[in-house]
A and B are shown apart, each in its own frame.
Chain A
């Protein structure tokens, strides 16, 4: 009986975070160099989203700032934060290790190489995004191919292959940085690898967003399988789980999510690692609740992070700096809380 109320409390927590996202979304839309009151923001959004005939109390400029500049950024932040955290929770479950982050199998280092090559060849921003996506996926494909040569499909082999591929990609990245023009290209590469949503357009979101939502939905649907896989290969198999198939599906989905976020805003650290930990504190370790909770918390966190990045100084601060500044103390606090619980 107590368990039923427990499940209810967890569902209430999830709903609470979702409501928090909506509130944060509206507040963050109003914040910026050009401050627009929250009620104006709500009216602009409502008049766009619903066929309401509201009295126009805002200027064209306000509507343009909200709809063309801030809205795409915040939708991007929502998608990226949710995606990185959901794939982080998935990877941590799959690899039975709560210290794993979504770039374990080399997706980020691969994406960095792709983007850097495109920057080196003076390509457009769309081409840079595509190159990042393709190279990120290619790196993970390489990682998952290595164990096949050894006819060993254990988790450990996969992690080691990830280390090899990541290391190799980082070396190539080093070569590219070394030959890049330090005045322009090197700066772009460095800026790109620290992550930013500043130049995000609605077009990018419409291109990548639907893919992310579909893949996230698949992961949410198979979330109980992640519990089974987290027991280890042989135990999962003895419970009738087709391990290579289930794990493969989860890895493909989590990788696509990470690669898509890298393609939207470059690489961003910390989010995928700590949001699942925060989620465990709120709803426990059962992935049935943890995976949705991580996704929602990540989305909320990135909405706040992007707004801080936009408003902290006169110019844009790269996202990884903000996630690090907020994330490291948060992680420390989480560890302190967990230690208190264990003792």
Chain B
């Protein structure tokens, strides 16, 4: 790949307290259209890392370059034009309609005193249609299912028109069908040239999506590489402290990760 990477992270370290670093020495480079999946145990610091990358937390050391510019020197609404963030699904206090919720993705493109108008709502309607969820448009955010909420959040980040999208455990709390639906959407977005960075608890999801994987261990170091080379029975045992098996499925022509038997 020639040209500047869209996202470059150099020797990033973060600490909540002064005594112990949550993670240190994390480096990675992402180009346009890359998918990067972060695996790690509970409490390993996956969400913390994602929060640093999205500028919600300030790292202790190291730097993050967004299209070659240090993120600390970019105004916050300029960051949001390049970097979108899909938080874990939760129910907000107020019941906004889906259109009113999704239109908030236009915020980085709008001034302090402006209010979304026709043009902004047209973008919303286009994205909802592309995703095939236009029937949700006038429903209330509090009334739709978890799977639909996750799709609505993705719609909002698409309306934001950023080039990189960070997902914090996008398949959490979803049933199996919805998990795969979201993974399909994510893969399609990458094909369209968006750069994806996500965390997950499911090694299979990293294998399914392919691309690059980062394994965050308990000491706060991250091993980065291609999915097929870096996901091994040994590395998985390191994360989850349990024996997992990587088995080649002839029918699907790919590896899959399964647990051993319960005694």
Contact = CB atoms under 8 A, between A and B. Distances in A.
12 contacts: A222-B113, A224-B114, A227-B104, A228-B104, A234-B87, A235-B87, A237-B55, A237-B76, A240-B80, A242-B76, A284-B97, A286-B100
A27 B147 CA distance: 53
A75 interface: no
A202 interface: no
B174 interface: no
A250 to B, nearest CB: 11
A238 B100 contact: no
Interface stretch (A93-101, A191-199, A325-333): A93-101
| A228, A235, A238, A288 interface centre (most CB from chain B within 10 Å) | A238
Interface string A281-306: 00011101000000000000000000
Interface of B: 51, 54-56, 76-81, 83-85, 87, 92-97, 99-100, 104-105, 107-108, 112-116, 121, 137-138, 160
A231 B104 contact: yes
A221 interface: yes
Contacts of A310: none
B230 to A, nearest CB: 28
A239 B87 contact: no
A286 B104 contact: no
B7 to A, nearest CB: 15
B76 A3 contact: no
A286 B95 CA distance: 8
Interface in A229-286: 230-232, 234-235, 237-242, 246, 284-286
Given A2-B138, A228-B107, A285-B96, A222 B112 contact: yes
Given A3-B138, A224-B115, A235-B87, A240 B51 contact: no
A2 B85 CA distance: 30
- Interface residues on chain A, size class: 20 to 34
A261 to B, nearest CB: 25
B93 to A, nearest CB: 4
Nearest to A2: B138
Contacts of B83: 238
A67 B42 CA distance: 70
A258 B78 CA distance: 35
A230 B93 CA distance: 8
The 7 closest A-B pairs by CB, nearest first: A240-B80, A240-B108, A240-B77, A238-B85, A285-B94, A239-B107, A96-B93
A177 interface: no
Contacts of B81: 240
A63 to B, nearest CB: 42
Contacts of A237: 55-56, 76
Interface string A314-332: 0000000000000000000
A225 interface: yes
B121 A3 contact: yes
